[in-house]
Chain A
Amino acid sequence: MSMIQAGAEKSPMVRTAGSVVEPVADIALLLEGTYPYVRGGVSSWVHQIISGLPEFTFAVIFIGGQKEMYGPAQYQFPPNVTHVETHYLLHRSLVKPHSRKGNRQPFQEMEELHATMRQPGKLAEGKMIDAFARLDSKGGISQEDFLYSEASWDYITRQYKERCTEPSFVDYFWAIRAMHAPLFVLADIATGLPPVRAVHAISTGYAGLLGAMMRLRRNIPFVLTEHGIYTKERKIDLAQATWIHDHNDDVCNTLHDEMGYIRGLWIRFYEQLGRMAYAQASPIISLYEGNRLRQVADGAAPEKTRVITNGINVERYRGALEKRPGKIPPVLGLVGRVVPIKDIKTFIRTLRMLVKERPDAQGWIVGPEDEDPSYVNECKELAESLGLKDHLRFMGFQNMLEILPQLGLMVLTSISEALPLVILEAFASGVPCLATDVGSCRELIEGTAEQDRALGAAGSVVHIADPEGTAKAALELLNNPGKWRAAQQAGLARVKRYYDDQLMFSSYREVYSEALGVPRHPAVAN
């Protein structure tokens, strides 16, 4: 069913004479759509953590959508990766559809569970545990029952009649299927995963749910780190998703002013996934205070949350700093995947504004373009229509150490960020930053605590989707060498003092040691 890919041979699965099986790794990292197949901030961070903590062994559990969406692994595993698994949630079921009655009992229990889930703030922990523990096993709902049984059909149609406020049954039906089918794959992964001492999910969503299942089924510690806020990012995706039809037409626009039922269903689904992960995970780690508060608002128990900020190896960027030319290069760099969430289009428009004042200005977009080809096309067409052919370059993935010395400003126009490593990298190589006021960008540029703030601004914070303001801020720094130098010094000082990776490593060392060393609590008091 699931693919266990090359790399698994590295894992020494020591099976002793009895049924006692040695754990294949200390920590199983549960990675949804990132490391090692997709490059990006989270993936770099994962690689950094694995490399920086050689005293722990890691199992890399990748969960993707469809196999075709991913290329070869983008990272060379450090030697302390002892087990690798690759799974895809959206694979076609190999079972031929055939009619079956289905076990009605678990569907009835599911109804109660769903009812509890609909009440805000409540978490039917006992029922949830029960449902997930038995998913795809005897007495629970099997995948075949869910996909093909009459019991499942009756349940889905009843729910549709009672709740769905949108007309299209076929849309509702497929939304429900698409939503729940991955749960069975997760249950499979949870069953098949060789023993590990603890799990560490690097997001909520499906990875977080897998973590929760692992904790419930095996009673092992479950650490959760969130870089972005998964639920929020899904909401942004869903708000833009064109594959969901909202049945709003001109006539009844006033009646359906808010988002369509199915869109809302998806959002509530992801919110539930998040709540389930929060309920089981400890500690729940975020990158900065803003996100921690958000986790608490989304249902995480405050006492379990903590902030461990990202860090980088500042030394590594010394070379880039030394290579900098004396003059400030009029080059704006955006480092990131070319996807809507990075709002590349605003960057392009900013450049258009800037070029009016500084005809020598350049814009470089540095990052992989394979994730959303249609968006990449839109961006390229926009650049062309704005006549930026000689000013804008799409450079694909590049070695940061070579790019950074050539930049005059690092620009982030994202509509959502967590704690972007590229800002830290820019600081360490002496590049001031312009960033939108999302995630921890303001904290990074302006500082948090009093001492931190005293270091000064390492660039400027701008509004979301504001090309004019961004261009103005860029011009102010580029045309004003004194201000630019001050920003450079503030960035250098801030990254050295607060965002050195040694701080991050020691925090995670502590988290892992605690997870592995402390005697385990029973998951639930029955």
Chain B
Amino acid sequence: MAGIGFEIRKILERDNYWSVLRAYGYAGLVSGGPWVLSILSIMMIGVLAVMLGVEQREVNAFQICVTYMMAGSLIWTGGMQLMFTRFVADRTYADDKAEVLPNLFGVLMLTMTGGFMWAAPFIFSFFTGPFFQQLLLLCNFVVLSGMWIVLIFLSGMKAYGRIIWTLAKGYSLGIAVGLLASPWELNGLLLGVLTGHGYLLFSFLHHIVREYPGNSLLKFDFLDRSRSFYSLFAVGTLYYLAVWIDKFIFWFVPYTSEAVIGPLRASIIYDLPIFLAYLFILPGMAVFLVSIEADFAEQHERFYRAVREGDTLMHIEYRRDQMVYAARQGIYEIFKVQGLTVVLCLLWGRSLLQTIGISPLYIHLFYIDVVAVSVQVLLMAILNILFYLDARREVLIVTACFFITNLLFTVATLQLGAESFGYGFAVSVTLSAFLGLFILSHKFNRLEYETFMLQG
């Protein structure tokens, strides 16, 4: 995502408060856009549908269905997203761009038909609704799986402006269709999001096909062991598993959850605060983009240029120090801005919940969730820096830690009782962030040694 740094730089160089605000606003939109827009539009469909007379029960079922499909498709494609991004980067670096498009179709084919193959039997055997509804669920899942792939691909192409604009159009379309079809209740709403996501998938694809040359239709080189990194696949899958595992646990433990539709269950006490909390990481994400993708990325590039182009060891060390400084600054800035967000949430959280009509019983869970997701931004920043250093093994260790501790601690909080809910996730993400910091610091200390002595 180095390209974004440049754009943000341009805005920042105008050097006034308005431009700083704009830069961070833009960065926030770019980094948080996809999920904020999707959460907001799903919520909006729900609210508007209720106003149009759709039963609350149906709307709940709709929101749960979409949440599950999001979670499922993210976990299903997370590994491939990372592995393929790296594949594309390598091909582009090797000036082998013609390889990219056929392989993108290969990835889409694999994730979408693969997703169909396992989701179809699952949906048809566990959902009792009409065939049409089962089909809608299946289509939604398959389309979402494809969409994540093209979305990450497009991010790799730095086409942020287009992404945001297309997302806005796609979700507007989804809301419109959903509301028009709201007389069919759940099915109508599902048709709405399907149309929206389908539009996104195809217009993203349209953009990619126009930009990339291709010499054949389908290729599966990204599976080639010598060219790909299966450890990245593991990292992507583990990361999304880690992010969702606590939710799944709360959904499927009987006394924290209730059945909603088919096999899908929801946890009213757990879900609302956490999804609400996720809206409050936007400031951190914006800072993340500016400080890591712009400042750190630039220092990183300078360090490796110093190594390659024959600088003195002293200068290489100086560049290393500058890079470490940029990383530290970035993490510190995220810490500051998310810290401030947490403080504001602590101050006004109660009135916020009141305003949007959520029971104040949720307040403590909301507090801890805001802290947890703020730390999650830090964790993402640390992982991203490790990715820059190509520390694949280390990233795998941290994500594995995140997954395992989230699983264990969440189960433990269930034993400890309601007042500890949310702490499992929070402690897990904090622990993983500390582990990441520790590893990062170790990595930085040995950076020149590893760069010179351990290259293959």
Contacts and interface: CB of A to CB of B under 8 A. Distances in A.
Interface of A: 96-99, 147-150, 152-153, 157, 160-161, 167-171, 173, 245, 247
Given A97-B454, A169-B310, 17 more contacts: A99-B446, A99-B453, A150-B449, A150-B453, A153-B448, A153-B453, A157-B448, A161-B313, A161-B314, A167-B310, A167-B311, A168-B312, A169-B312, A169-B313, A169-B316, A170-B307, A173-B452
Contacts of B316: 169
B308 interface: yes
A191 to B, nearest CB: 25
B383 to A, nearest CB: 21
A93 to B, nearest CB: 10
A152 B453 contact: yes
A161 B314 CA distance: 8
Nearest to A154: B449
Contact of B310 (A148, A152, A160, A170): A170
B53 interface: no
Interface string B426-456: 0000000000000000000010111011111
A245 B310 contact: yes
A431 to B, nearest CB: 51
A255 to B, nearest CB: 16
Q: Which of A97, A167, A169 has the most CB of B within 10 A?
A: A169
A153 to B, nearest CB: 5
Contacts of B450: 99
Given A170-B307, A170-B308, A98 B454 contact: yes
Contacts of B453: 97, 99, 147-150, 152-153
Contacts of B313: 157, 160-161, 169
Contacts of B307: 169-170
A167 B454 contact: no
26 contacts: A97-B453, A97-B454, A97-B455, A97-B456, A98-B454, A99-B446, A99-B450, A99-B453, A147-B453, A149-B453, A150-B446, A152-B453, A153-B449, A157-B448, A160-B313, A161-B313, A167-B310, A168-B310, A169-B311, A169-B312, A169-B316, A170-B308, A170-B310, A170-B311, A170-B452, A171-B310
B452 A153 contact: yes
B311 A168 contact: yes
Contact of A167 (B308, B312, B449): B312
Contacts of B452: 153, 170, 173
A336 to B, nearest CB: 37
Contacts of A160: 313
Contacts of A152: 453
B298 to A, nearest CB: 21
Nearest to B450: A99
Contacts of B312: 167-169
Contacts of A147: 453
Query: B interface, by DSSP: helix, strand, loop or mixed?
Result: helix
A167 B306 CA distance: 11
A150 B446 CA distance: 9
A58 B313 CA distance: 49
Nearest to B455: A97
A157 B449 CA distance: 9
Interface in B289-320: 307-314, 316
A167 B313 CA distance: 8
Contacts of A98: 454
Closest 6 CB pairs of A and B: A168-B310, A169-B313, A97-B454, A153-B449, A167-B312, A170-B310
A85 to B, nearest CB: 29
A247 B448 CA distance: 22
A169 B309 CA distance: 9
Nearest to B454: A97
A234 B13 CA distance: 55
Contacts of B310: 167-171, 245, 247
Interface string B79-122: 00000000000000000000000000000000000000000000
Contacts of A157: 313, 448
Given A150-B449, A153-B449, A96 B456 contact: yes
Nearest to A161: B313
Nearest to B312: A167
B448 to A, nearest CB: 8
Interface in B211-233: none
Contacts of A149: 453
A84 B314 CA distance: 48
Contacts of A170: 307-311, 452
Contacts of A247: 310
A157 to B, nearest CB: 6
Contacts of B454: 97-99, 148
Nearest to B449: A153
A157 B316 CA distance: 12
B409 to A, nearest CB: 32
A157 B451 CA distance: 13
Contacts of B311: 167-170
A7 to B, nearest CB: 34
Q: Which of B309, B312, B446, B448 has the most CB of A within 10 A?
A: B312
Contacts of B308: 170
Interface in B355-414: none
A99 B312 CA distance: 23
A96 B449 CA distance: 16
A279 B448 CA distance: 39
A247 B312 CA distance: 12
Contacts of B449: 99, 150, 153
Nearest to B452: A173
Interface string B149-162: 00000000000000
Contacts of A171: 310
Contacts of A169: 307, 310-313, 316
A150 B453 CA distance: 8
Contacts of A97: 453-456
B246 to A, nearest CB: 35
A450 B23 CA distance: 93
Most chain B Cβ neighbours within 10 Å, of A148, A245, A247: A148
A168 B316 CA distance: 10
A147 B454 CA distance: 8
Contacts of B314: 161
Nearest to B310: A168
Contacts of A167: 310-312
Nearest to B456: A97
Contacts of A153: 448-449, 452-453
B77 to A, nearest CB: 31
A97 B455 CA distance: 7
Contacts of A173: 452
Nearest to A167: B312
A182 to B, nearest CB: 18
Nearest to A146: B453
Contacts of A245: 310
A271 B121 CA distance: 76
B303 to A, nearest CB: 13
A161 B310 CA distance: 15
Nearest to A153: B449
B391 to A, nearest CB: 12
A96 B393 CA distance: 15
A171 B446 CA distance: 20
A126 B311 CA distance: 38
